[in-house]
Structure 1
Amino acid sequence: MIKKILVGLDGSKNSIRALSNAIQLAKQTHSSIIGLFVVQAFPTDMGLMITLRGERKGKNYKHYVRIAKSMCTKKGVTFLDVIEYGEEGRKIVSFANKNKIDVIVIGSRGMGKLREVFLGSTSNYVVHSSKIPVLIIK
């Protein structure tokens, strides 16, 4: 039975589509949605975190959360937002496991096979690393 849906949010059109699909699923299953926003950051030798995409993404978090909350509220779906720092795919899988998530919904950026081989892909990592069902939205 689905009760908790995790949606990976990054402000992209694909993550908004993922949220829209998660809202439909939440309404059908009377579930809540947790929106996870991951800012890529890596530890330094001094114990500090360096964000690779800059502070801008972290600052945009509040804007994206307002949009996500509004979308959920309009459809009568409970929404909780969470921000994490680190590698996106690993954080999504780790958070899902620790919080007993029933299904993960994430957008696909539509990377080609060649780019995916060299750059990696958050959705590819999540699909192959998660023991929890994953719904990829194009």
Structure 2
Amino acid sequence: MAKARTIGIGIDYSATSKSSLEWAVDNLVDTGDTIVVILVLSPKSDPVNKKLFADTGSPLIPLVELKDISVCKKYGITPDPQLFNILDTVSSTKRVKVMGKVYWGDPKEKICEAVNHLNLDSIVVGSRGLGPIKRVLLGSVSSHVVQNATCPVTVVK
């Protein structure tokens, strides 16, 4: 049996990030693995727990707590039934441990920090499909992660 892995998945609630989660569930995640959903929220948001965890991100939040409205409020998480449904399904069907981790700041930097903090075996991110001009002007999270992460990166279009 293969060694259980810890797989990070960057989520921003967009259709693209949910597609990348679904791709990871269908193609990458195996029984016994751990999925860490990485949520990078705006540095302007100011939930109760941000002051405690602004530098390191939140503690790992088990799925059952991640779905709790009061926990969502503490961390500034937007409860997303579709996202929770996908995570519940993979948790039960593949016996995968699902955790959440919340950061505040620049997604490019925070996702790369998460790779190191969490000792991820792999990271999956979505791509909005920006053209070359927009990518240069706006910066691409997926491009930055591919160039700077210290583990394998999968970009899902």
TM-score by length of 2: 0.70
Write the distance in 2 (CA, Å) between the matches of 1:116 and 1:29.
36
**Does the 8 Å CA contact 1:105/1:137 hold for their aligned counterparts?**
yes
- State the SS of the aligned residue for 2:79: helix
Q: 1:2 offset after TM fit, Å?
A: 5.4
**Does the 8 Å CA contact 1:23/1:33 hold for their aligned counterparts?**
no
Write the distance in 2 (CA, Å) between the matches of 1:22 and 1:31.
12
Q: 1:79 offset after TM fit, Å?
A: 1.3
The alignment-based identity, stated in percent, is 28
In structure 2, relative to structure 1, the CA distance for the partners of 1:62 and 1:78 (3 Å cut) is farther
Aligned length: 122
Q: 1:21 offset after TM fit, Å?
A: 1.5
Write the distance in 2 (CA, Å) between the matches of 1:2 and 1:131.
18
Q: Which residue of 2 aligns with 1:82?
A: 101
Q: Matches of residues 7-22 of structure 1 in structure 2 within 5 Å?
A: 7-22=9-24
Q: Which residue of 2 aligns with 1:55?
A: none
Write the distance in 2 (CA, Å) between the matches of 1:21 and 1:102.
17
Q: 1:131 offset after TM fit, Å?
A: 1.8
Q: 1:73 offset after TM fit, Å?
A: 1.9
Residue segments in structure 2 that go unaligned for 5+ positions in a row? 45-50, 55-74
TM-score by length of 1: 0.79
Q: Deviations over 1:116-136 (max 9, x none)?
A: 111101111100111210000
Q: Matches of residues 28-39 of structure 1 in structure 2 within 5 Å?
A: 28=30, 30-39=32-41
Q: Deviations over 1:60-93 (max 9, x none)?
A: x3323x4333212213232111111011011001
Q: 1:29 offset after TM fit, Å?
A: 5.5
Paired AA for residue 36 in structure 1 = I
RMSD of aligned Cα (Å): 2.1
**Does the 8 Å CA contact 2:32/2:97 hold for their aligned counterparts?**
no
Q: Does 1:70 align with 2:85?
A: yes
Residue segments in structure 1 that go unaligned for 5+ positions in a row? 43-47, 50-57
